[in-house]
Amino acid sequence: MIPVARPVLGEEEAAAAAAAVRSGWVAQGPRVKAFETAFAARVGAGHGVATSSCTTALHLALLLIGIEPGDEVVVPSLSFIATANVVRYCGATPVFADVDAATMNVTAKTVARVLTPRTRAVIAVDQGGVPVDLAALDGLGLPVIEDAACAIGSTYRGRPVGVTAKLTAWSFHPRKLLTTGEGGMLTTSHLGWAVRARRLREHGMSVSAADRHATGSTVLETYDEIGFNYRMTDVQAAIGLVQLTRLAEIVARRRALAQRYQRLLDGTVTTVADPPHGETNYQSFWILLDQNAAIGRDALLALLAADGISARRGIMAAHLEPAYAGCGAKLPATERLTRDSLILPLYHEMTEAEQDRVVEALTRYL
C-alpha cells in the first residue's frame, strides 16, 4: 500500500525523547523553552509559545485579541473543522467566507463579502501549505490570526510564513511536515501577548511550575485569571527540536516530488501550484477533477484504494457538516473544491517508482 502521508522520524528523535525521559523532567520544562526559541527563530517571529495543539494555540490567539460571546469571526469553511470550532470555544460565531479556487485560501474580496458590524477578527488559513495573501487582508482593518497549521517551511513574499502575522498558530500533528506526535505553537511579535498566552496555557498561573522548580527556593504562585491546561511536554519538545533540523531537507524533497507530479500530470488534471506571492511546502498535493470528469471523486478514491494507493478526499467544508447545520452559508467555490478534489500520496521517503504507480493509475482512470 502506498500511504497518503508518512512522518519523517528516525533514531535521533527516539534518542532525544529517551534523553528527556531519563532527565526525570517530562512535563513542560527546559526542552519546551528551547523548542519555543528555536522555532520562533526559524519562522522569524519574536516569540514562541508551545501548546498542546494548533487548536489550543488558535483558542489562545482569539482570547488574546478579546473575542467574546456575540462577536463574529470570519473563517474559511474550507479548512479542518478546528478553525471554526475555536471561535465557538469563545462563545462567538464563526462566519464562513468562500475561497479562491486556485489557492483554496480566503481573499480580501471573499472576506469583505461577509463582514458585518459585529465582525471582530479574521482567521486566515494557509490551506495545505499554500501561503494566504496576508497583506491584502490587512487592508480590511481587522485583526488577522494566521492558521499556519499546514505551512511550516512555506514562504510569503520571499520570507518564512509567520514573519508578518501578529499571531500565527502552528500544528505538529503527524499529518503536518514537522511532528511532535501532538503539539502546536503560537508565535507572535508582541511580548505582552506571549506572556499572557504562557499564563493562559498553564491554568492562569503567575509563575510556571518549571520556573518555580528552577529557582530552588519557595515561590508561591497566584492564579490571576481562568486559564487552561494547554501545555506541551518536554518529551514532545525534544522530538520537535530534532525535527526542526530536518525541516529544510523535508521541504526540498516535497517540492521536488510535487514538481515531478506537476510535470507528469500536466494536461491531465488541475494540480496545486505556488501562488504568485509565495512558495508552498506542498503539505497537501491536491488535484481538482473536471466538473464533467468521466469518474467522480469518491469512485476514483475507491479505485485507487483497490490498486493499493491511499489517496484522500480534499479539504473538508465545515459549513456542510452537521455540527454547523443551519449556518446558511452559500459558498460555491468551497463546495466545488471539497466535492471534486483529492489529495495524492506524498511523503519524504516516497520513491519515483511509487510516484509513477500513482500517476499511471490516475491517468488510466481519468
Q: Quick one: cell of 72? A: 463574529
Q: Quick one: cell of 11? A: 533514531
Binding mask 146-185 for ligand PLP (x = CB under 6 A): -x-xx--------------------x-x----------x-
Q: What SS3 class is residue 144?
A: strand
Of 79-87, 152-160, 298-306, 316-324, which part binds ligand PLP (CB under 6 A)? 79-87
Measure the CA–CA gap between 140 and 258, rounded to whole angstroms. Answer: 34
Residues 6+ positions from 256 with CB-CB distance below 8 Å? none
Which residue is catalytic, options 33, 109, 166, 176?
A: 176
201 near ligand PLP, rule: CB under 6 A: no
Active site residue 166: no
Q: Cα angle vertex 359, ends 343, 260, to 5°?
A: 85
Q: Comparing C-alpha atoms, which of 61, 65, 25, 40 is closest to residue 208?
A: 25
Smallest distance, ligand PLP to C-beta of residue 83, A: 5
146 versus 274: smaller Cβ distance to ligand PLP: 146
58 versus 265: smaller Cβ distance to ligand PLP: 58
Answer for which of 95, 125, 242, 342 binds ligand PLP (CB under 6 A) is 125
Element (H, E) at 94: strand 93-97
Q: Are 165 and 122 in contact (CB under 8 A)?
A: no
82 near ligand PLP, rule: CB under 6 A: yes
Task: Output the 3-class SS for 265-299.
Answer: HCCCCEECCCCCCEECCCCCEEEECCCCCCCCHHH
> Residue 219 is which amino acid?
V
Smallest distance, ligand PLP to C-beta of residue 141, A: 24
Smallest distance, ligand PLP to C-beta of residue 82, A: 4
59 near ligand PLP, rule: CB under 6 A: no
Smallest distance, ligand PLP to C-beta of residue 169, A: 7
How many CB atoms lie under 10 A from the CB of residue 146?
A: 28
Q: Are 105 and 119 in contact (CB under 8 A)?
A: no
Of 52-60, 257-265, 317-325, 327-335, which part binds ligand PLP (CB under 6 A)? 52-60
Give residues in contact with ligand PLP (CB under 6 A).
53-55, 79-80, 82-83, 125, 147, 149-150, 171, 173, 184
The residues carrying an active-site annotation are 176
